[in-house]
């Protein structure tokens, strides 16, 4: 009926015929490049090499390998006339690119220096905060022992010991007040540093799933979450609670919009207020939350 008997076979044969029988064309190209890039022209840019190679191929195609046989047309004359302006424009573009890269590099170095200062200051404050917590515990212990001593002195009608105990209670309360004020200032400065570092930080991790197979302190949650804005799943083997601290003053509001699944193991006796602050601050967008007590009780 006038149709080819083997239509697919004819296409295969045509495709085979266009395949080169050797690599002479490739080798010839390498030889031409060796003639262009000589020992005293090793610093040629890629655009210069492409331009020289295009000129070589054009002479071969239009002039049969002889430059004087290449026909001079109006398009070629105009291209030559514009070559200087094109070159100048390219140089300006390269200079602009180099200036932008230099500016970005300087900005990055400045950002790194600022971040280093913030981190050093944050570490100093955290160390000072820890020392103040220890002093606060000692002051509370002193007040407790002094109150017990005062009660015993009053029962025995020992005025001297009662006065001494009362003086110790006053000193302990005064020291506790000073420590609390200092802790409040440190906490406020830490919060400002953390907010500043969020704006200064040049990068954030793209980690989406994190498993902490060990104890993890409550103080470190801020530092952890501000570097992991893309976190989707979180599992912490044991989250340690901080005692004698107003937790809502030690947390910065970090929006973890991608965090949907959280599994936490905590101590068996956890105040509900502590859990409420934790949830309100970090876990606003959760879909699944699994809590396990350290002793194995789930709730």
What is the rounded average pLDDT of the residues 176-181?
90
For 98-124, the pLDDT digits (tens) are: 999 999 888 888 877 887 888 788 888
What is the rounded average pLDDT of the residues 282-296?
78
Query: For residue 177, is pLDDT > 50?
Result: yes
| DSSP assignment of 216-261 | EETTHHHHHHHT-TT--EEEEEEEEPPSSS-GGGS------TT--E
DSSP state of 292: E
Nearest-Å Rg of the Cα atoms of the chain is 38
What is the rounded average pLDDT of the residues 203-209?
78
| pLDDT band per the 50, 70, 90 thresholds, residue 253 | low
| pLDDT band per the 50, 70, 90 thresholds, residue 204 | low
pLDDT at 298: 43
pLDDT at 297: 45
Other C-beta atoms closer than 10 Å to the C-beta of 281 total 19
pLDDT, greater one: 73 or 3: 73
Query: For residue 199, is pLDDT > 70?
Result: no
pLDDT at 234: 92
Chain mean pLDDT for the chain: 81
Which two three-digit tokens encode residue 76?
């070629």
Query: For residue 168, is pLDDT > 80?
Result: yes
What is the rounded average pLDDT of the residues 65-77?
87
Q: Which residues contact 183 (CB under 8 A, 6 or more apart)?
A: 129, 132, 133, 136
pLDDT, greater one: 147 or 239: 147
Residue spans of the domains in the chain: they are: 112-200, 209-293
Q: Is the pTM of this model over 0.75?
A: no
| DSSP assignment of 166-228 | HHHHHHHHHHHHHHHHHHHHHHHHHHHHHHHHHHH-S------EEEEEEEEETTHHHHHHHT-
| Most confidently modeled range among 132-146, 255-269, 273-287 | 132-146
pLDDT at 233: 92
What is the rounded average pLDDT of the residues 41-61?
86
pLDDT at 242: 56
Q: How far apart are CA 246 and CA 269, in angstroms?
A: 17
For 130-153, the pLDDT digits (tens) are: 888 888 888 888 888 888 888 888
- Which burial class, exposed, middle or buried, applies to 44 when counting CB atoms under 10 A from its CB (0-12, 13-18, 19+)? middle
Q: Which residues contact 137 (CB under 8 A, 6 or more apart)?
A: 244
pLDDT at 19: 79
């Amino acid at each position: 009926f006038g149709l080819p008997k083997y239509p697919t076979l004819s296409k295969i044969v045509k495709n085979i015929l266009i395949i080169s029988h050797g690599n002479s064309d490739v080798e010839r190209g390498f030889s031409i490049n060796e003639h262009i890039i000589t020992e005293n022209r090793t610093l040629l840019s890629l655009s210069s090499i492409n331009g020289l190679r295009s000129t070589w191929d054009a002479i071969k195609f239009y002039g049969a390998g002889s430059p004087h046989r290449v026909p001079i047309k109006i398009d070629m004359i105009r291209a030559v006339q514009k070559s200087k302006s094109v070159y100048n424009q390219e140089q300006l573009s390269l200079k602009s690119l180099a200036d932008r890269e230099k500016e970005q590099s300087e900005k990055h170095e400045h950002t790194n220096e600022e971040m280093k200062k913030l981190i050093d200051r944050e570490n100093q404050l955290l160390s000072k905060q820890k020392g103040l917590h220890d002093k606060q515990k000692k002051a509370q212990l002193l007040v407790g022992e002094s109150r017990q001593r005062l009660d015993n002195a009053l029962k025995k009608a020992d005025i001297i010991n009662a006065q001494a105990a009362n003086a110790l209670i006053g000193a302990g309360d005064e020291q506790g007040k000073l420590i609390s004020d200092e802790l409040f200032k440190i906490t406020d400065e830490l919060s400002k540093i953390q907010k500043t570092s969020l704006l200064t930080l040049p990068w954030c991790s793209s980690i989406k799933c994190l498993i902490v197979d060990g104890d993890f302190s409550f103080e470190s949650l801020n530092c952890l979450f501000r570097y992991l804005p893309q976190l989707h799943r979180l599992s912490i083997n044991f989250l340690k609670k901080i005692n004698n601290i107003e937790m809502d003053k030690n947390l910065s509001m970090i929006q973890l919009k991608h965090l949907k699944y959280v599994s936490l193991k905590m101590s068996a006796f956890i105040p509900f207020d502590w859990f409420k602050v934790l949830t309100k601050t970090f876990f606003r967008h959760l879909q699944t939350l699994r809590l396990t007590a350290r002793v194995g009780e789930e709730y």
